[in-house]
Structure 1
Amino acid sequence: MLCTVLIVRFFGSEIYAGLIVDLSYISILTILLEIVPTNYILFKVQDDPTRYQGLAFLAVISFLILMIATYVAYKFLGIFYTNNLWIILYVSSIAIKKYIDIKLQSSGHLSEYFLIEFRGAVLRLTLLYLLFLLSTPPPVAVWASLTISTILTQSIWFAKNGTERKAFKNSINRSSWKQLTGDMHSYLPYYLGITLKRGGNNLTPILANVFFKDKEVLGAFFLAYRGLQFTIGQLRTIEGLLNHRNTLNKIKSISTKNKTVVATVCQFTCIVISIGILMLSGIKIYSFYAVLILSFSVWISMFAMIERANAYSTYNIKSVNFSIAGYIIVYISMVSLSSSFGIKGQIAYSILLVVSDLAYLGTILIFKNNVKYDNK
Structure 2
Amino acid sequence: MFAFTLLTSYVFAVDLNVRIFSSSQLKVISITPLSGKYIIYNKTTKIVDLYKNNSVELSIKDGKISILKQNENLGSYDSLYFSADGFINTFTLKSIDPDIKERIYDDGIKLYVENNFFKVINKVEIEHYIAGVVESEGGIKKNLEFLKLQAIISRTYAICNIRKHLKEDEYNLCDNTHCQLYRGRSSKSMIMMATSQTAGDIIIDISNKPISAAFHSNCGGQTMNSEDIWAISTTYLKSVKDTFCLKQSQAKWVKKISKKEWLTYLLSKYNYNIEDSDTLKRVTNFTQNNREVYFDNNTKIPLKTIRQDWKFRSAFFSIENQGDTLLFKGRGYGHGVGLCQEGAMRMIDLGWTLKKIIKYYYKDVSIINIAELKPK
Common fold by TM > 0.5: no
Query: Would you tell me which structure has more helix in proportion to its own residues?
Result: 1
Q: TM-score range by the shorter chain?
A: under 0.3
**Higher normalized contact order (CA 8 Å, seq sep 6+, divided by chain length):** 1
State the structure with more CA Rg: 2
Q: TM-score under structure 2 normalisation?
A: 0.24
Query: Would you tell me which structure has more strand in proportion to its own residues?
Result: 2
